[in-house]
Amino acid sequence: MYVSVAIDLALDRLFTYEVPVELLGRVCVGQLLRVPFHGRITRGFALALTETPPAFATKPVMAIEDESPFFSPALLKLVKWIASYTASPIEVVLKTAVPASVLKPSARPKELLFVEPTGSAAELTKHQAELLADIVRVGGGWMQQLVKEFKTSPSTLRTLAQKGCLSIVPRQSRRDPLAGRSVVPTHPLQLNDMQARALDTIFAQDVGGRGATALPSDGCGAPRPVLLHGVTGSGKTEIYLQVIARLLEQGKGAIVLVPEIALTPQTVRRFAGRFGNRVAVLHSALSDGERYDEWHRIRTGEARVVVGPRSAIFAPVANLGLIVVDEEHDPSYKQDETPRYHARDVAVMRARFEGARIVLGSATPSLESWLNAQQKKYELASVPVRVAGRSLPTVHLVNMQQELERMGHVPIYSSLLLEAVRSRLDRGEQTILFLNRRGYARVLDCPDCGWVAECPECAVPYTYHRADQCLRCHVCGGWARLPADCPVCHAKELSYGGVGTQRAEAALQACFPRAKILRMDADSTSRKYSHDDILSAFRAGKADVLLGTQMIAKGLDFPNVTLVGVLNADTSLNRPDPRASERTYQLLAQVSGRAGRAEKPGEVYIQTFQPDAAAIAAAAKGDYAAFAAGELEDRRTAYFPPYCRLSTLVFRSKVETLARDWADLYARSLEGWAKKANAKSGNEGFRVSEAAEAPLSKADGWFRYHVVLRTPTAKAAVDAVKWLKSVRPPPDALRIAFDVDALNLM
């Protein structure tokens, strides 16, 4: 017997080993094995078994690291699909699919000493007898807890064990990420007619039924994906909960993806309140021990519902019945390093491979998913009204050009927004303010000579952070001290341009000194549980205003929030990106939806210099269908996604000419490939841009050039790039990143 192994090195090939006699019948696909490789011992995953000997000499497998497979057949199929689709080494995808804390050779369950009463003894002191009685009363427990609770010592407990009164044995102790966090049990709510109809649509997609779709790989039927388009506050989460409850009764499991770690604590609470210890959480803020324990709880079937950001899509849930991708439009589902997968697309493929249902939920679906629903590739379930008949918030557009003309400068807060905040403070209601830029000032410059404080490693200005009085680069993380004067002309007066969340917070506090303000951005949430602490404090009414970046723009539900203010709606609209209008609409609609989610009506004030822009005007009206129709027509005319697949090649080098010349070489070579492909297909579906400096032309000391491909299929781009890399392999001093279905063109 021979086994193909993907070893723990990104070599993008498999190696064949012989299965020794003592391991025959024990080695199986998906296991982690220990194997020899080039004079050293390494580990790798078994991907295939065969009895056919190779035409070369092989070495034997040394040992099985874990008898239980890390990957089911369906998960392995998914890994292979990702490797092929994203043109990534399969070893890298395998390592992405299993948390590093699980694969560490030193990873172990945590063991603590457990004390349990076993009997009584005649010769006990009064103190020992009283202690034993207390332990019997509570039924035993962890040694450190008993020592603390009964004010005793480990040696006293060991003495009782020696007398036969207690047993002290090591037991595994779960490192619970929810320990110390309150979870309130909940019960299913009565669904309104729209929610009930959506629930029926999801369950109508049965294998072999009218909603079944054929798998290209094995011909099996799989439920058609359901796009759940529900306005903000329409009760999409309750639908998810009731679908999962029904599937749990059938012995099936579920994965629920959320886009941001900030949303994970709130979502976990809601699911744990309904399903208790059957819920596991996976995200990057967990400790290694917590992640190890949660992953193994899922692997053993103890936890049947998994909640987490994009990497949770790889959770080893057995008998998977449902995948939910909440806020499916969110760009954070796309990974920006190898393998550059999109968790939404991976979720759709995993559901197909496992015959599971998949629900993509959003108030502002991605145009890709919306078009799939229009073309009947997805089933559409709509919930166009809020629960309990609550109304959507009233949206006001504030023209900041008029504020500029009236005041002579651009204020952070318009007079209309300030008055709206004041009225909420007077009424004891809460406000959310959205500004998608952290720090105090976006740029520090000299008004006399024009000098700008820039990061020497990146082609971007430093951002001034007032909290620690330093300049920080938001690209590479570098920093510099705040200069006392201009380093060029030595002028003493420096200018702070642009507004970040720190500056907006300070300005608001100056306007309302008695207001309690919480700020939520990457700077204020660096501690573990800081997301949860801030949101819990705001939910408990300990603050009047929550000011933050896009982590507060979606998925949050605060009954007492009746006002939302968007300080600068133009930030995302002016990005060099064909999806800029779509993202602007999504952000504005999502953050607007935080207002008026309970009995009290809500209002939204959107400050903008472009009130007539299609995305901003449509977001104010809340008409997604009209916006999508117009935007899709523009995309079709311009040949942009979802009418093509957009991929990028980014060339990075410490030597600018090397990056530029190789980008130009690849662009010209791909143009030749495109001409042949277009001649063969009879259309102009394969288009290649010229090599150009990337919008972010330098990052972390690396110069960056890019080439953009638009192709009819992702495979067309993958095949072209693979061919080009094989005939023109790049030099060691050059890095080439290939991103299929790219979302970030910076």
Cis peptide before 642 (omega within 30 of 0): yes
How much is the pLDDT for 509? 97
Question: Chain-wide mean pLDDT for the chain?
Answer: 92
Residues facing 360 on adjacent strands = 227, 325
Residue 106 pLDDT greater than 90, yes or no: no
Structure tokens at 387: 């629960």
Q: Is the pLDDT of residue 530 over 50?
A: yes
Give the Cα-Cα-Cα angle 511, 513, 516 (nearest 5 degrees).
Answer: 110
Q: Give SS3 for 740.
A: coil
Q: Is 340 in contact with 88 (CB distance < 8 Å)?
A: yes
**Percent residues over pLDDT 70 in the chain:** 98
pLDDT of residue 205: 72
CB atoms within 10 A of CB 120: 14
Strands 63-66 and 141-142, bridge-based pairing? unpaired
The predicted-structure confidence for 405-447, as pLDDT tens digits, reads as follows 999 999 999 999 999 999 999 999 999 999 999 999 999 999 9
The pLDDT value recorded for residue 8 is 84
Rounded Cα–Cα distance for residues 702 and 697 (Å): 8
Mean pLDDT confidence for 654-665: 97
Residue 652, pLDDT score? 97
Query: Residue 219 and residue 206: Cα distance in Å, rounded?
Result: 15
Give yes or no for a contact between 716 and 627, defined as CB atoms under 8 angstroms apart.
Answer: no
The interaxial angle of helices 73-86 and 343-354, nearest 10 deg, is 140
| Per-residue pLDDT reduced to its tens digit, 254-289 | 999 999 877 777 888 899 999 999 999 998 888 899
Amino acid at 521: D
**CA-to-CA distance for 576 and 275, rounded, in angstroms?**
44
For residues 525 and 613, what is the distance between their CA atoms, to the nearest angstrom?
Answer: 33
pLDDT (average), residues 358-371: 97
Q: What is the mean pLDDT of residues 518-541?
A: 89
CA–CA separation, 538 and 324 (whole Å): 27
339 preceded by cis ω (within 30°)?
yes
What type of residue sits at position 294? E
Task: Indicate whether 501 pLDDT > 90.
Answer: yes
Three-class SS of residue 43? strand
Task: Name 426's Cβ contacts closer than 8 Å, sequence gap at least 6.
Answer: none
In this predicted structure, the answer to whether residue 472 has a pLDDT above a threshold of 90 is: yes
**What per-residue confidence (pLDDT) applies to 267?**
87
pLDDT tens digit sequence for 337-357: 999 999 999 999 999 999 999
Pairing outcome for strands 40-50 and 32-37: antiparallel
199 vs 210: CA distance, rounded Å: 16
CA 245, distance to chain mean position in Å, is 24
Structure tokens at 286: 């967990």
Find out whether 458 and 699 touch, Cβ atoms under 8 Å.
yes
For residue 671, what are the contacts with CB-CB under 8 A and spacing of at least 6? Answer: 688
Name the region of 166 (left: φ>0; alpha: ψ -120 to 50; beta: rest): beta
Distance CA 522, CA 550 (A): 10
Q: What is the reported pLDDT for 182?
A: 77
Lowest mean pLDDT among 147-156, 177-186, 302-311, 568-577: 177-186
Task: State yes or no: pLDDT of 210 exceeds 90.
Answer: no
- Residue 426: count of CB within 10 angstroms of its CB: 8
Q: What is the pLDDT of residue 219?
A: 38
Is residue 459 pLDDT above 80, yes or no?
yes
Q: What is the mean pLDDT of residues 543-556?
A: 90
pLDDT band at 575 (very low <50, low <70, confident <90, very high): confident
| Across 599-623, average pLDDT | 94
Judged on CB neighbours under 10 Å (0-12, 13-18, 19+), 477 is: exposed
Helices (H), 363-500: 367-374, 400-407, 415-427
Confidence tier at 207 by pLDDT (50, 70, 90)? low
Cis-peptide into 177, omega within 30 deg = no
Whether pLDDT at 551 is above 90: no
Tokens at residue 535, please? Answer: 């949101």
The whole-angstrom separation of Cα 544 and Cα 428 is: 8
What one-character DSSP code corresponds to residue 702? E
- pTM to 2 decimal places: 0.91
Taking CA atoms, 672 is separated from 335, 546, 679, in Å, by 30, 54, 11
User: For the chain, which domains are there?
Assistant: 2-103 (3.40.1440.60), 111-172 (1.10.10), 193-387 (3.40.50.300), 390-438+501-636 (3.40.50.300), 439-499 (no CATH), 645-739 (3.30.70.600)
pLDDT value of position 281: 93
In this prediction, residues 517-537 reach a mean pLDDT of: 88
Residue 51, pLDDT above cutoff 80: yes
The CA distance from 713 to 741, in Å, is 10
Confidence of residue 212 (pLDDT cuts 50, 70, 90): very low
Mean predicted confidence (pLDDT) in 72-83 = 96
CA distance linking residue 160 with residue 125, whole number of Å: 10
